[in-house]
Amino acid sequence: MTTHERYEQLCKKVNFHNYRYHVLDAPLISDAEYDKLMAELKRIEAEHPEWVTPDSPSQRVGASPAEKFEKVRHPAPILSLANAFGAGEARAWFERISKIDDRVEKAKFVVEPKIDGLSVVLHYRAGVFVQGATRGDGEIGEDITANLRTIRAIPLRIPVESNEKPATSDALKDLPLFGSTRQLAASNQRSSIAQPPAYLVVRGEAFLNVKDFEELNKRLEENGEKTYLNPRNTAAGSLRQLDPAITASRPLTLLVYQLIAWEDSPPQPPNHPTPQLPNHPTSRPTSQWELLETLQSLGFPITNAARRFDDIQSAIAYTESWASRRDELPYETDGMVIKIDDLRLADELGIVGKDPRGAIAFKFPAREVTTRLQEIRVNVGRTGVLTPYAVLEPVEIGGVIVERATLHNFDYIAEKDIRPGDRVLVKRAGEVIPYVIGPVMDLRTGAEKPYTPPAACPDCGQPVEHFEGEVAWYCLNAACPAQLVRNVEHFVSKGAMDITGLGIKIVEQLIAADLVKDVADLYTLKKEDLLKLEGFADKKTDNLLKGIRASAHQPLNRLITALGIRGVGEVVAADLSRAFPALDWLAKASADDLQRIEGIGPNIAQAIVDWFARPRNQAVSGKLRAAGVWPIGAGEPGSRGEGALAGMTIVVTGTLAGFSRDEVKAYIESHAGKLTDSVSKNTSYLLLGENPGSKLEKAKALGVKVIGEEELRKMCV
């Protein structure tokens, strides 16, 4: 195979595995294997920059920031939808359009979730993603191509081809059947690969899944950055960034649902008859259902909750069934869209204003109510961030009693002029934490006083501080009891030291009894002291102490994560543990040293330096060392990054005595090795546990060396 052929093959492979992961949610290879393909692709591109095209998988991120967005004229108007509130209004819509055209009486309908995101328009020429725009005023939008390219669910080249054998996808497993419905076939069962037309423009919704939104906000809050109000607002804000690197850091995804333009290539001259290839161009879909199928087989992400119905009653019944189940969808919806399936009939029905007659948005009841804001309280987080929240007069929103709601940050309270005693509008959507939208000004009595943020920490009374460029206020007293509870809670959590049997209740008990004044005190707890606490019997105490002792052997990356340094999560901690041999080496590093590590910017570097500069933290790290909680990392003094397992790939089979799967992964990675899922001739070692599986046979057949846990540990000291 020539290098160019290999390059083409890698592009296809990376695109395909990207599709499996981001569109089907059903990866076939591990992250490490994906990274390896990408690394090889980038290596070839570095040698042959002339081969790199904008649709190369390496080009998703990296475009430089724009000055402003250019305008784009849409090839056809990007329409909106009329609303129907309840089944009565949906039936009235059906009757109205039946009168206009009697073919409606026998029409089929497609029902899809109405995703609460940002409408985007994607252009493909000869199967290559060439432009993406916002909706704008429906005629002219803004060119946000570079930002859209960072969304991995958007195919850069269609059809997404595969030379891998198909597997069954969990992501496409059917939702509960409902009435007489038709469902889309799983795309990996496609019999022939659809071919795109010469020019294709599709419309879709860019959005964030609720879970990803919550995680993003948590991360922003911990870093003292401004949080977003809701997933919709995040999607809009992230796509409007002039710097695509910021968009790339937001977990955006997309689903497509509408055809804006479809132009086949001009007919061939008569002396060049079009050859009848098996993958001939797909013809323009004539129904919404066919459209979804076609888009799916080209490799676009489409909803798996769409259904087609033979009559309006069943379509309405299906729509209504989602009102109580809307939280089962991973994203926010404010209703369902009912569409006439026949695209030609829908088109001929025409438009009223900006709303096509052929479809209607069936809106679910709003999840916004007003209630009284009794009090504004302040929570102190693990990193000392002060977060205000609302104590509300209890109120029901969509079947749930809400008593607390977030107020985001002190700037938000000031911007919206939210005052204790106000009647406020509160929104609860899906699984998102309820939030206060703002006060109902017309209901002010005049007695409400503007809110002033606390000048001192509500828990320890120390003055609060503010950093340039951040919205958050901090309590920087490391001995603050509220922070201590959160700190210990974080220290013992699953991704950190993972101490089983040490839940929040016990953490609070230990701190209240003065047995724990910092995280290092956990390792010097005495059985007789614990037995004096309420609810501590012999067995519980033994188990707790055993769990704590076992955690002392966690690898360095986990200990670094556990310290709870601002901005240092599991990924950064793993990078640090590869670069430094032990905690004292990390403590000695300067901000410049730290920034030499890939992925560590000035803010994180400074946060690390600041953390170790505090005498209290120095004392904690000294106590940890004295207690034997002092893992040795992969980094060698003077030869950072060169771990004992550098360049090695290890596969595990069977049950290991001394490690869980997560632990062995962390251990191998902390020594700069890679853990992969399947044995190949490139595997360095097979790590053998009890009751091994077929990997053992495969390793033997391929001549891969088999080692035990002891040997692994020896290799790492």
Please identify every residue annotated as catalytic. Answer: 114
Helix (H) or strand (E) holding 667: helix 661-670
Q: How far is the CB of 305 from ligand IVH (least distance, A)?
A: 10
Among 80, 321, 379, 595, binds ligand IVH (CB under 6 A): 80
Measured between alpha carbons, how far is 608 from 178 in angstroms, rounded to an integer? Answer: 54
Q: In this complex, which beta carbon is closest to ligand IVH, that of residue 21 or of residue 207? A: 207
Near ligand IVH by CB under 6 A, which window of 168-176, 323-331, 356-364, 485-493?
Answer: 356-364
Q: Whose Cβ is closer to ligand IVH: residue 90's or residue 664's?
A: 90
For the bound state, the minimum distance from the C-beta of residue 246 to ligand IVH, rounded and expressed in Å, comes to 23
Which of 216, 337, 373, 579 binds ligand IVH (CB under 6 A)? It is: 337
DSSP state of 366: P
Q: How far apart are CA 490 and CA 480, in angstroms?
A: 15
- Using the contact rule CB under 6 A, the part of the chain among 79-87, 95-103, 152-160, 643-651 near ligand IVH is 79-87
What gap in Å lies between CA 281 and CA 535, rounded to an integer? Answer: 71
Q: Which of 112, 222, 332, 593 binds ligand IVH (CB under 6 A)?
A: 112
Q: With respect to ligand IVH, which residue has the nearer C-beta, 359 or 686?
A: 359
With contacts defined by CB under 6 A, name the span among 75-83, 269-277, 312-320, 587-595 that binds ligand IVH.
75-83
Sheet holding 199-207, edge to edge: 128-134, 118-125, 199-207, 253-263
Query: Which 547-566 residues touch ligand IVH, going by CB under 6 A?
Result: none
257 binds ligand IVH (CB under 6 A): yes
Cα distances (Å, whole numbers) of residue 423 to 334, 367, 419: 24, 16, 9
Query: Applying CB under 6 A, which of residues 60, 114, 152, 367 lies at the interface with ligand IVH?
Result: 114
Nearest of 265, 318, 282, 280 to residue 110 by alpha carbon: 318
Cβ of residue 37: shortest distance to ligand IVH, in angstroms? Answer: 33
Task: Choose the stretch contacting ligand IVH; rule: CB under 6 A; options: 45-53, 56-64, 353-361, 555-563.
Answer: 353-361
Among 97, 122, 361, 522, binds ligand IVH (CB under 6 A): 361
Q: Mark residue 179 as left, alpha or beta (left: phi above 0; alpha: psi -120 to 50; beta: remaining).
A: left
Closer of 361 and 496 to ligand IVH (Cβ): 361
Number of residues located near ligand IVH, criterion CB under 6 A: 14
Does 119 participate in binding ligand IVH (rule CB under 6 A)?
A: yes
Of the candidates 161, 126, 130, 127, the one whose C-alpha atom is nearest the C-alpha of residue 148 is: 130
Cα within 13 Å of Cα(661), Cβ side = 7
Candidate segments 76-84, 280-288, 440-448, 623-631, binder of ligand IVH by CB under 6 A: 76-84
Task: Give the span between the Cα atoms of 590 and 608, in whole angstroms.
Answer: 9
Residue 70 per-residue DSSP state: P
Which C-beta is closer to ligand IVH: that of 326 or that of 674?
A: 326
> For residues 115 and 315, which CB has a smaller minimum distance to ligand IVH in the complex?
115
154: exposed, middle or buried (Cβ count in 10 Å: 0-12, 13-18, 19+): buried
Question: Which alpha helices (H) appear in 614-670, and where do they start and end?
Answer: 615-626, 661-670
Q: Identify which of residues 429 and 696 has a Cβ nearer to ligand IVH in the complex.
A: 429
Question: In this structure, what DSSP letter does residue 117 have?
Answer: S
Please tell me the distance from the alpha carbon of residue 111 to that of residue 333, in angstroms, as a whole number: 13
Q: Which of 711, 712, 631, 634 is nearest to 672 (CA)?
A: 634
User: Which residues lie near ligand IVH (CB under 6 A)?
Assistant: 79-81, 112, 114-115, 119, 205, 257-258, 337, 356, 359, 361
